[in-house]
Chains A and B, each alone.
Chain A
Amino acid sequence: MENQKGIVEIFAEKVWKFFSSVKLAVVLLIILAIVSVIGTVIAQNEAPERYLREYSQTTVQIFDMLGFFDMYHTWWFVLLLFLFTANLTVCTLDRFPHTWKLVTAPLKPIDDDSLKAVPFKKEMIFSAGADKAEERTVAALKARGYRYVESRGPGSAQFMTQKGIYSRFGVYITHVSILLIFVGALIGSFFGFKAFLNLPEGSASKVVYLRNEPMWDQIMAALGIAESPVIHDPQVGVPAMPLGYYVRCDNFDVDYYIGPSGMPTGMPSEYHSTLSIFDLDGQKILDKRIRVNDPLTHHGITFYQSSYGTIPDSRGKVLLNVRLKNDASSAGETISVDPGATAYVPSIDRTIKVLGFAPYGMRNPATGEIVFYHTENDEYINPTVELEVYRGHGGGKPIYKTAVMKTDPGQPNMPEGYVITYRGYVGARYTGLQVTKDPGVWVVYTGFIMLCIGPLIAFFGSHRKLWVRIQDRQGQTVVLVAGSANRNRIGFEKEFNRIAEEIIK
């Protein structure tokens, strides 16, 4: 009766055995490699119209049913990943105790039986006597940093040593790192979210619009345990996630590479937005100029510069800076003017009238004449503002008419003792922000670091064992050198031969 196992036990054992097989791992790797190709051939997450243009209706239906349009998130692909994870976990757990035993077990003296399994061995007759042999052995081992253990029996002495035992853990570090990356990704999809926010210049928002709702909130809400913080407003149509603070876009701009002529080439060099964070009472907390590759993070939520666009039927305000020519150190005075309107600047007792704004102007360096170009989608490649300057509070005839542009400080073309420079055109565009929260990312990064280290230890570390046995056989000293290495056998063989030579020489 004792040997009889319950059906559950037998089943559990079978499942364990199934998942602990490396064959399964290889099969799963092959399957994953093959099915992953599908999603690279069929464009993912496109609009249905595009698919219908490319494939017939039946094909679209079949692909849709199989989930080929969002393949990497289908239940069967996720299931494959889970099987792979289970396989990896069980394989690791199954083998680890064996490795642990191997690592912790004390090195045993070698005997003729265990010698059979050792790949490198050399037995030699040594004429200078056992003491000399011991002396040389100790010297040879010490010279290479081997720490040895001695074992003595009647008429025989053994020196045992090993190195690089830690390399046995390399494979576990690698495997655990992959598990960590999976766990981190799961944490991310349960507790994190991906969202977007198109924020017009000068306006603020306390919510972002979700691409996917945190799974944890969905589950809690479905179970009736906790209410989801997500706001479903049928008028907006997209679920909104409250931030707990306000984010405001102060300014968005595109910088362009400057060509050899000193004028912008039309090739963007940088997209950037100045964002400010306010608490719900309107108190400003911080601001930051974000650009691609340099996001802003506040309370675990990160804002990335992602896109931008023009707000239809909107006009911005022109920002101008006025600074005295002989006072280069001062920041000057910045004014904001609507196109067509005027502004009085007390420091110079002049009134500036903004005649108009053009997105792409260039000055002929010889004549100072300004030429306007057409730009696609109203890109502000070299924004140019035309203006008139009046004496005092205005009225009467303008003193002069000029134009200022982003890449042109306007210095030689300013007739009076001050310089007017362009600072921005704010309010006609919005910045497109990608907003994410991913509490799992640090788990993933820990996995990344381990995944960089693990294979190096596993491939380039080597567990080497070495025995030197000095025996007295009928008055003759017989020296046996034996050794094994689990990696880089060729390198070890060289070292092994050198040690043997040093002892016997």
Chain B
Amino acid sequence: MESSLLFNIATLAYLAAMVLYISYLAFRKKAIGWTATAITLAGFVIQTLALLLRWRESYQMDIGRVPLSNLYESLVFFTWSTVLIYLIVEFKYKTKAFGAFVMPVAFLALAFINVAGISSDITPLVPALKSNWLFYHVLISFLGYAAFGVAFAISMIYLLMNTDEKGPVANLFAGLGTIVVLAPIGYFMASQGDRMKTAFWLGLGVLVLAWFIYLIVAGARNKSQVFLFWSFCITLAIVLLVAMGIDFVYLVSMKNLAAGESYKKHMFESTFLNSSTPVTIVSWAAVLAVFYFIWSKGMGLKRLLKPYIPAQDLLDDVTYRMIAIGWPLLTAGIITGAVWANSAWGTYWSWDPKETWSLITWFVYAIYLHARYVRGWKGAQMAVISAVGFLAVIFTYLGVNLVLSGLHSYGGLN
């Protein structure tokens, strides 16, 4: 298929753009900056062509459907939207500083598809998906996700720039210690059966939420806590990507997953849920090491980036604008989904996990907008809410399909 070739070229272009944007930050040469933008633009055009070509190929295969209907296509489209929104931001704000943060997201998502060996076959649609709403629903939802993704990247920069020093080592030890204490408790409770496992996850969820709420409320005052949160988010992103990558190498490439078997049930089997205790312990030790590394090198990274990052007020403003674009898109995405559900099943809202999680995401960003408009919040607190919102987005997009089950189950990794 020609479309796969074009997708690969686009992936390489994004890799080159990522390297160039980062070197642009380091060397500050105009030529590098323009090359980075040109290559990103070229990659974007190629990816657009690839999407259109894939659409045409589906017609040649007599399946004839929008290329937006399985995990492979949605990940490709997610990167496409992210790059589109990034290019708009670069053009509008005339700054190339964000490229070094956004392009890795686009490249990693595409690399994830390749490493993960997610099937790129054009498969026919199940009857429930055969509707014109599919196109609008997925298109709008993913543009919204991408806007939130860019907001998240910029919030991460904001939080780093907002920190003056990494704070007392006690903070780090509290963070590492929490992991060291909670992980064995989690394993023990999970071994006691499903109800204890559920209890553990609920308990952990409550703890994490309590921490988020504390950060949002006390965000402006306790900068070292906010920095810990920043390290946590970056660690989480790295660990999830790497762990899932190892999973795929181990499970898919080594054929440890029977054909047709769902990845859902085998998630993290090569790392955190490995049958061998030493592997599990090493995995967790690696998490601690990544956490420590991020936390201790954060300030160094800040010093390195400081001269090239726009003023904090601008970061705050761009984050807000991305959310002001993302939230109406998310709203329209939920609404088109509801109208579609009503025409397919006769009910516009059935509290299915995906619907509920998209509503939770909607609530988080609604909180962001009200805190800003009505209560006049700015700065670190808002960046934390934006980050929490994106965690909810990621869970809505991937977590629900991987962990929970429901009407959207066709989006799963199988």
Contacts and interface: CB of A to CB of B under 8 A. Distances in A.
Interface of A: 22-23, 25-26, 29-30, 32-34, 36-44, 54-56, 59, 71-72, 185, 194, 257-258, 265, 267-271, 291-295, 302, 304, 306, 434-436, 438, 441, 444-445, 448, 451-452, 455-456, 459-460, 490
Given A257-B124, A448-B338, A456-B328, A41 B198 contact: yes
A54 B195 contact: yes
B175 interface: no
B41 interface: no
13 contacts: A22-B374, A26-B367, A26-B371, A37-B205, A39-B351, A39-B356, A42-B198, A54-B194, A54-B195, A269-B124, A292-B128, A294-B343, A444-B348
Given A444-B348, A448-B339, A455 B195 contact: no
Contact of A434 (B209, B213, B317, B346): B346
B360 A33 contact: yes
Contacts of A291: 127
B128 to A, nearest CB: 5
A406 B339 CA distance: 35
B366 A29 contact: yes
Interface centre among B338, B363, B371 (most CB of A within 10 A): B363
A292 B163 CA distance: 54
A143 to B, nearest CB: 24
Contact of B128 (A54, A293, A456): A293
B363 A33 contact: yes
B335 A29 contact: no
Contact of B345 (A39, A258, A267, A304): A304
B360 A452 contact: no
Interface of B: 62-63, 124-128, 130-131, 194-195, 198, 201-202, 205, 209, 213, 317, 324-325, 327-328, 331-332, 335, 338-340, 342-349, 351, 353, 356-357, 359-360, 363-364, 366-367, 370-371, 374-375, 400, 404-405
Interface centre among A42, A293, A295 (most CB of B within 10 A): A293
A448 B335 contact: yes
A30 B213 contact: yes
Contacts of A26: 367, 370-371, 375
A34 B209 contact: yes
Contacts of A268: 126-127
Contacts of A258: 62
Given A25-B370, A56-B195, A436-B347, A269 B359 contact: no
B344 A304 contact: yes
Contact of A55 (B127, B195, B404): B195
A40 B324 contact: no
Given A22-B374, A39-B351, A40-B404, A455 B331 contact: yes
Majority DSSP secondary structure for residues of A touching B: helix
B130 A293 contact: yes
Given A36-B356, A39-B351, A59-B195, A30 B367 contact: yes
Given A41-B201, A55-B194, A267-B124, A295 B343 contact: yes
A239 to B, nearest CB: 18
Given A26-B367, A451-B331, A37 B360 contact: yes
Nearest to B332: A452
Given A194-B347, A292-B127, A441-B342, A452 B364 contact: no
Contacts of B347: 194, 436
Contacts of B201: 41
Contacts of A445: 339
Nearest to B212: A30
A41 B395 CA distance: 13
Given A40-B357, A56-B195, A292-B130, A452 B351 contact: no
A354 B213 CA distance: 73
Contacts of A304: 344-346
The 9 residue pairs across chains A and B that have the minimum distance between CB atoms: A436-B346, A40-B353, A33-B363, A459-B324, A455-B328, A292-B127, A293-B131, A72-B351, A22-B374
A295 B343 CA distance: 7
